[in-house]
């Protein structure tokens, strides 16, 4: 996990994973790879990414210990069809995701998603 990035898995079912990614750095974007399983055996069919409207000042809420503000969400769906995908988080942002997963679609492997074949 990159510096200043956190992930929270809030729901896990037979075919879905709901999580939220947060970039706490106030001025630097962060890139990370999201994989549905430890050994790459599950296929991420598609991802529903919630985009929060308006600018969010994370530092204000983190320092004050205040609850997250309510924000309107729009959702963007992207077909993946692979065991992993890359995400770039804008500075001081959070990204709610719902992964639709097909379990045991691939043979388990120790190969990491960032390694080339």
- pLDDT value of residue 7: 94
Report all structural domains of the chain as residue ranges with CATH numbers, in order of start.
5-72+84-102 (2.60.40)
- pLDDT value of residue 74: 62
Question: Phi and psi dihedrals of 60, rounded to 5?
Answer: -60, -45
pLDDT tens, N- to C-terminus, the chain (117 residues)? 888 999 999 999 999 999 999 999 999 999 888 998 889 899 999 998 886 543 344 444 444 455 545 545 567 888 999 999 888 888 888 889 999 999 999 999 888 887 765
SS3 state at 63: helix
- pLDDT value of residue 117: 56
Q: Are 88 and 29 in contact (CB under 8 A)?
A: yes
SS3 state at 64: helix
Closest to 60 measured CA to CA, from 48, 69, 51, 71: 69
Q: How far apart are CA 56 and CA 59, in angstroms?
A: 9
């Amino acid at each position: 996990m990159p510096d200043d990035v956190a992930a929270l898995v809030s729901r896990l079912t037979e075919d879905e994973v709901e999580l939220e990614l947060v970039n706490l750095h106030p001025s630097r974007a962060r890139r990370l790879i999201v994989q549905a399983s430890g050994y790459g055996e599950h296929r991420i069919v598609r991802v529903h990414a919630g985009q929060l409207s308006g600018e969010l000042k994370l530092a204000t809420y983190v320092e004050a210990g205040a609850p997250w503000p309510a924000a309107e969400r729009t959702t963007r769906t992207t077909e993946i069809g692979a065991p992993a995908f890359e995400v770039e988080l804008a500075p001081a942002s959070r990204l709610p995701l719902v992964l639709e997963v097909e379990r045991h679609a691939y043979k388990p492997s120790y190969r990491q998603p960032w390694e080339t074949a």
